[in-house]
Amino acid sequence: MEIALFVILILFCITGVLLAVLQLPGSWLILAAAVGYDAYHDWSRLGWKWLAGLAAFAICAEVVDTLASMIAARRAGASRRAAVGALIGGFLGMLLVSVPLPIIGVVIGGLIGCFLGAVAAEMTKRDDVAFGVRVGLFATLGRAVGLAFKTAAAMVIGGATILLAIQGLRG
């Protein structure tokens, strides 16, 4: 039973990392599996301090993922409207493109939507197409950085969970 639970935990960690790549809450799946695993073992395998630390890291990853495109757009000199347009466009793109292109459409749609949202919003403020495209490219780059950070965070959370569980198996 012990090995079976450990294998299930590993599968949840792998699934969580894959979900994070698709801009879904993979870190939270990993964290939920870690809490369940530790609760089953009377909170003696991972420990509440580690679980709290991993939860704090997951929150940071979500904040970075959400705000990265806005911050990058602002660095390019974008208006506040363009930064918000990048955020809204990214979410709308994820939703709209994921229907015709399941799985990979979430990533592609998020990036395209972020670009279009930033450009469209900036164009309502200024009539400079080149500047709007620059803002859109920065916003898209920020979105990609946010996605990479969120994926890396899921890998760290999953790896830490597995290592702590292995340590608990030994001791």
User: Tens digit of pLDDT for each residue in 81-124?
Assistant: 998 999 899 999 999 998 888 888 999 999 999 999 999 999 99
Half-sphere exposure of 81 (CA within 13 A, CB side): 9
> Which of 156 and 80 is assigned the larger pLDDT?
156
* pLDDT value at 69 more than 90: no
Contact 3, 155 (CB under 8 A): no
* pLDDT value at 20 more than 90: yes
- CB neighbours of 109 closer than 8 A, spacing ≥ 6? 93, 94, 95, 96, 97, 98, 101
Averaged pLDDT for residues 43-52: 93
Residue 169: predicted pLDDT: 81
* pLDDT value at 171 more than 70: no
What average pLDDT does the chain have?
93
